[in-house]
Amino acid sequence: MMANDFAGLEQLFSALFASIPTDWYRNNPIAQYEGYYASVFYAYFASLGLDLTPEESSNAGRLDLALRFNGQVYLFEFKVVELAPAGRALEQIKARGYADRYLARGEPIHLIGVEFSRERRTVVGFEVETLA
């Protein structure tokens, strides 16, 4: 996060999901739901003591996760690709104007759309757009 290494962040979370034992999914439909994947991201960032707001409400809906760190804002939207077409996570952040509340701060804002496959139980899409 200090270097805004988004490729490294994607790799880190892919490795994290790859390390979750398959037995934890046995007779458990949790991997079908967006909230499962979002909670893994939340738990990771929360364990680092970062400033997070899950399910941040606005006049246009709810952003999945907002993170403020090092004078920058990171806005995350999560989607399960079997339930929504690819590219919808980042598209939703932009279409609903989730960044609007942060524009007056004058800080870099990173829009991050993360997509998961419930069949593969991992990250399958990771798009980033930065607003200066």
- Burial degree of 95 (CB within 10 A; 0-12, 13-18, 19+): exposed
123 has a pLDDT exceeding 80: yes
Crossing angle of helices 34-47 and 6-18, rounded to 10°: 110
pLDDT of residue 87: 83
Q: Pick one of 1.20.120, 3.30.70, 3.40.720, 3.40.1350 as the CATH number of 6-131.
A: 3.40.1350
Instruction: Convert the pLDDT of each residue in 7-60 to its tens digit.
Output: 999 999 999 888 988 888 787 788 777 888 899 999 999 999 999 999 999 998
pTM of the model: 0.90
Of 131, 127, 66, the closest CA to residue 91 belongs to 127
Cβ neighbours of residue 19 closer than 8 Å, sequence gap 6 or more:
none
Domain boundaries, the chain: 6-131
Mean of all residue pLDDT scores within the chain: 91
47: Cα separation from own chain's centroid: 16
